[in-house]
Amino acid sequence: MGQDISDTRFTNADFDEFEARLRAETDLLASWFDADCFADTPREGGFELEAWLVDGRHTAPAPVIEALLASLDDPLVVPELAQFNLELNGTPVLLAGDALSQLAAELTRTLIRVRATAAKLGAKVVTCGILPTLRPEHLVMARMTPRDRYRAINAQILRLREGAPIWLEIHGEQPLTIEQQDVMLEAAATSFQIHLKMSARESARVFNAAKILSAPMVALAANSPFLFGRDLWCETRIPLFEQSVSVGGSPLRERVGFGINYAQDSVLECFRANLRRYPVLLPHLMDEPKERLAHLRLHNGTIWRWNRPLIGFDARKGQDPIPHLRLEHRVAAAGPSVADNVANAAFFFGAAHALAAAEEPPEHLISFPQARTNFYLAAEYGLDAEIPWDDGHRVPLPALILERLLPLAHAGLDDLGIDRAEREHWLGIIEQRMRTKRTGALWQRAWVARYGPDWEGLTEAYLAHQATGKPVHEWTLD
């Protein structure tokens, strides 16, 4: 859940000073947009993959993250909210040539190291949106990773809720209602977050393209059909995360969501909205130059838009670092295999680039309310959803992806300079997934339909297939 801090208790004066610094940094950021001070480099892409640690014998969550991190000592692997979660980061690459295979090779190497270290602790690593063996009793404060940031977020969200418990209500085949006294429900959802570098002048187009693509992306990457033994949405992670850190009150203040509009001129509008609409959660004061935007970036890190603009800094030899913009696309679940995750990234990189560069902006053809409705329909029904596209006609998602979006993704990757063999390999995985209609979510449902609700058995079968490295469309039910 982002940058760590060193405080858990805050005074009214801390909030006042933080908000003053946040306003000043937002004004400085606006001046950077006016002067186009951001790096304007070729497209780069990266990722963050969240995963589960499970007991090697019973596949229940294994709270061994601290021992694993101490033994591993790898900067690419960091903790998450719960002691049974972790995050694996990829080194950003220039999106050209064999960039996608580079991402896959690094992720494979990282997973091999993590799995070997976990095995010494009697644990295994699972990449899956929601772990089938997870139970409510696993999501308790005693299992929160001991970091000040997590404790502070929990305390501040409950403060904004005036101490009221968090209610999770998800409809589906087997509706679920549960009361939670803290934010630990958030630990039940793991994702594959895709990062795409962008210039300031094109940021509105990239941001809007990512929103439009959120519906097909959440469906083709769906891998979270079950929660606490209930069959819910194809991508149950979406309502789960939105409700797990709900601050209550006005929907405009909710920390997770699809948003309320497209960007008109640039993603500066998001950072202005951060200041205007979202109460500060972590008023941690830092002794940093205003030009590092430390308080603005910390505040932005506590607002988990499904498509979130981020600011970083590129080092320059002999010069001050230069700020850059990137888009974090958060809708995809942690995927069944390295191949599936990288294929999802390839599809997003190519389709987002093509839509952002289209002569007729797709946001002129698909209204924002429709893009938002499409997203939640696709999250609930997956590849069974039919959504209106740019001509207003409803299209089954597999047909839309195969006939309209895959050609766009190919064209986008080609324009970026990705090798033809790369395009055909990685987008070919998406094509076969659509033709077989076999996502991670649909494989899990098919397994339960054959063998019954044996959650340990499902997780063991999932792990066995995951170990092969094959993409999910090649998985069997044996």
Residues 114-138: pLDDT tens digits? 999 999 999 999 999 999 999 999 9
pLDDT (tens digit per residue) in 392-440:
999 999 999 999 999 999 999 999 999 999 999 999 999 999 999 999 9
Q: Cα(first)–Cα(last) distance of the chain, in Å?
A: 37
Report pLDDT digits (tens) over 290-303.
999 999 999 999 99
Structural domain contains residue 142: yes
What's the predicted TM-score (pTM) here? Answer: 0.97
Q: How far is 178 from 188, CA to CA, in rounded Å?
A: 13
Q: Backbone phi, then psi, for 380, in 5-degree steps? A: -75, -45
Q: Residue 221 in contact with residue 344, Cβ under 8 Å? A: yes
The continuous run of DSSP H or E covering 213 comes out as helix 203-220
Q: Is residue 244 one of the residues assigned to a domain?
A: yes
* 102 is a domain residue: yes
Q: What is the pLDDT of residues 172-209, one digit of tens each?
A: 889 999 999 999 999 999 999 999 999 999 999 999 99
What gap in Å lies between CA 314 and CA 439, rounded to an integer? 37
The boundaries of the domain holding residue 321 are 12-468
Q: What is the pLDDT at residue 7?
A: 67
Q: Kind and range of the H or E element at 56?
A: none
CATH classification at residue 403: 3.30.590.20
Residue found by looking up tokens 């409950």 in the block: 158
Question: By the 8 A CB rule, do 223 and 204 touch?
Answer: no
Q: Is residue 424 one of the residues assigned to a domain?
A: yes
Residue 9 has pLDDT above 80, yes or no: yes
The total number of structural domains in the chain stands at 1
Kindly state whether residue 4 falls inside one of the protein's structural domains: no
Asked which of 170-174, 305-309, 355-359, 447-451 is least confident by mean pLDDT, the reply is 170-174
Most confident of 160-164, 227-231, 249-253: 227-231
How far out from the chain centre does Cα 97 lie?
25
Contacts of 232 (CB under 8 A, 6+ apart): 170, 171, 172, 173, 174, 175, 176, 225, 226, 239
Beta-carbon neighbour count of residue 237 at 10 Å?
Answer: 29
- For the chain, the average pLDDT equals 96
Residue 1 in domain: no
| pLDDT at 5 exceeding the cut of 80 | no
Distance CA 183, CA 435 (A): 39
Listed in sequence order, the residues at least 6 apart from 76 whose beta carbon sits closer than 8 Å to its beta carbon are: 88, 89, 90, 91, 110
Whether residue 2 is contained in a domain is answered as no
In a domain, 227, yes or no: yes
The residue that leads in pLDDT, 29 or 8, is 29
For CA atoms 445, 189, 469, 133, give the dihedral sign: negative
